[in-house]
Copies of this chain bind each other. A is one copy, B any other.
Amino acid sequence: MPAADFRALYQRLRGQAQWGPDDRRGALNHITPARLAAAAGEVRAGRTVTMAAPLATSAADNPEPGARHMKSLPGEPSDVAGLTFAADQLVMNIHGDVDSHIDALCHVSYDGALYNGIASGAVTSKGASELSIEEAQDGIAGRGVLLDIPRLRGVRWLEPGDQVTAAELAAAEAAQQVRVSPGDLLFIRLGHRLRRQELGPWDVPRSRAGLDPRAMDFVADRQVAVLGSDSNSDAAPSTVAGVAFPVHVLAINAMGLYLLDYLQFEDLAPLCEAAGQWSFLCVIAPLRLPGGTGSPVNPIAIM
């Protein structure tokens, strides 16, 4: 896509995100109380399913992987009377490749500004004074919808580099008999997690399936509140001249749309298939990290 076309797309999408100059919630505004209350009606079978992958502590496809260290072990001498504790420490880069996380609206700067024209200088070495993940401190709950693109195409997964178009999203809706509606949390399965399980890690930073940037018109038209995938929504390499992560720019920066990267739908998709139901109550609970640019998450589908 030529740079001029991308810029026009950016301007159009930004123009549709109109919640006033003081807005900090972006597309979360699409989740109204009535829509959330209705989403609770999606719970039928009474079961929960994870949409996250386990923390990856190897460097196979992440040059700076997360880690967990033990701080105390059961059975060791201890100054705690009568019992011993097992305790550990967590270290992780929030946006590390292949770890499931949510991007806050401060995550992407474009043309010197964050979402809604807030100056990039709002983020310093101390963190974000505006648009941090604390804007979502009360969690994000609503109707989740999973669109399964490999199912639509009759393949096991999309190959790295491939892009999903708006037309395919609409076709997946039809195939799955579900319609993405205002306030929905939209999840798009590309099969990358299954590919990784079966073929092993690859150079994800350089080679990913993702969305055609023009598919963001579909996302905006349907008034989607949150977008997630089992890749990071952006294909690599980018097909937009001069912009490496066009979907991130459009979603986070122009539309105020939280992205969830590197999720995992291998548990959820079979249950949806079996139930013939591709919608569910979905709850995303970012950690409360003041100034944070995002958070590790384990989004839960409740069916």
Contacts and interface: CB of A to CB of B under 8 A. Distances in A.
Given A43-B37, A141-B300, A244-B82, A50 B288 contact: yes
Contacts of A63: 58-59, 65
B139 A290 contact: no
A198 to B, nearest CB: 19
A109 B72 contact: no
Interface string A74-109: 111100111111111111111100001000001111
Contacts of A290: 54-55, 57, 68
Interface residues of A, number: 108
Contacts of A32: 46
Contacts of A92: 89-90
A202 interface: no
A228 interface: no
A139 B289 contact: no
A117 interface: no
Given A36-B47, A67-B64, A90-B91, A285 B302 contact: no
Contacts of A178: none
Given A40-B43, A48-B138, A72 B292 contact: no
A299 interface: yes
A302 to B, nearest CB: 5
Contacts of A54: 134, 137, 288-290
Given A86-B107, A88-B94, 9 more contacts: A32-B46, A36-B47, A48-B138, A52-B137, A55-B288, A68-B292, A87-B93, A90-B287, A141-B283
